[in-house]
Amino acid sequence: MLRTLAVFAPDYNLGIFWRLDGEYAPITFIADVSDVFWWGAADGEEIRMADVPLLEQAAADLAQAGEDCSWVGELYAARKRQTRPQGAMYSRIPAALHPLFDAAGSSRATGLGNPHHYPDDETGKPGAV
């Protein structure tokens, strides 16, 4: 549990929340990835004990790219889900981090949940993959 919190704290603790009740007891950590993968969607990615090395690797890769851990939840979730964030998110993600997110999965077709093309989409047209 402390290893999970150490990745997010002390610099960035807005990207994680936890639950203690019912099925979530004794504690369940969740990375907040709302609007990252789907347009207009509240979303979270559970962080299990077995996932902590993946979370720590995401933090290490961000540090190697010269970034703080403010994108760690998003990169962790992209790798765990093996998918890129929606195209619209790329305008918020620092360009130096695009290769890390691109490596998580292939481009997705644009549409309702992914209404903007990816920066590497050569056509720049809606509906392109």
In this predicted model, what pLDDT tens digit does every residue of 15-68 receive, in sequence order?
Answer: 888 899 999 899 899 999 999 999 888 999 999 999 999 999 999 999 999 988
CB 69 within 8 A of CB 8: yes
CB 84 within 8 A of CB 102: yes
Q: Which tops the pLDDT comparison, 13 or 98? A: 98
- Predicted local confidence at residue 66, as pLDDT: 92
- The angle at the Cα of 105, spanning 99 to 107, to the nearest 5 degrees, equals 85
- Predicted local confidence at residue 101, as pLDDT: 96
The whole model's pTM is what?
A: 0.85
Q: Which residues contact 72 (CB under 8 A, 6 or more apart)?
A: 7, 8, 12, 15, 31, 55, 58, 59, 62
In this predicted model, what pLDDT tens digit does every residue of 55-110 receive, in sequence order?
Answer: 999 999 999 999 888 899 999 999 999 999 999 999 999 999 999 999 999 888 88
pLDDT tier at 1, thresholds 50, 70, 90: low
pLDDT tier at 12, thresholds 50, 70, 90: low
- Predicted local confidence at residue 129, as pLDDT: 44
